[in-house]
Amino acid sequence: MAEPNTTAGAALSTALIAGFAPGIDGNALIGAFAGAALVVVTSKDIGVLTRIAYMLISLVMGYIAAPEIVSATPIRSTGVAGFLAAALVITVTLQLIERMKSVDLLAFLKKGE
């Protein structure tokens, strides 16, 4: 199995090459990659496959969210927006999942009646 640094190197190469493709926002892509790399580097006590999954999810969601963040906040750089989105998406989503496990949806639905 590939080492995490080898996987990150391959992902960076792909991100750099894709940044030159027409229709791809290179700033958002590189920012999202940097945020995703930060998530992977700071994730401890998880396996290689989980790190790869975190990397891909963070990269894709950071790139997709960058234009939305630019349009909704004072941030004007898609690179910065991509970085922030990629760095936060895994942490925020995992926290939401944990909170949803403790919510009694049936009681919530009955309360609305």
Q: Angle between the 48-72 and 78-101 helix axes, to the nearest 10 degrees?
A: 120
Give the pLDDT score at 4.
54
Please say whether the beta carbons of 91 and 40 come within 8 A: no
Helices H / strands E in the chain, number of each: 5, 0
d(CA 94, CA 76): 28
The yes-or-no verdict on residue 103 having pLDDT over 90 is no
Count of structural domains, the chain: 1
Domain holding 55, by residue range, is 4-111
pTM: 0.74
Please name the residues in contact with 15: beta carbons below 8 A apart, sequence gap of 6 or more.
Answer: 29, 30, 32, 33, 59
pLDDT, mean of residues 88-111? 84
* Coil, helix or strand at residue 21: coil
For residues 8 and 24, the model is more confident at 24
The string of pLDDT tens digits covering residues 18-65 is: 656 778 888 999 999 999 999 999 988 899 899 999 999 999 999 999
Give the pLDDT score at 5.
58
The yes-or-no verdict on residue 1 having pLDDT over 60 is no
Please name the residues in contact with 19: beta carbons below 8 A apart, sequence gap of 6 or more.
Answer: 26, 29, 30
Least confident of 11-20, 75-84, 98-107: 11-20
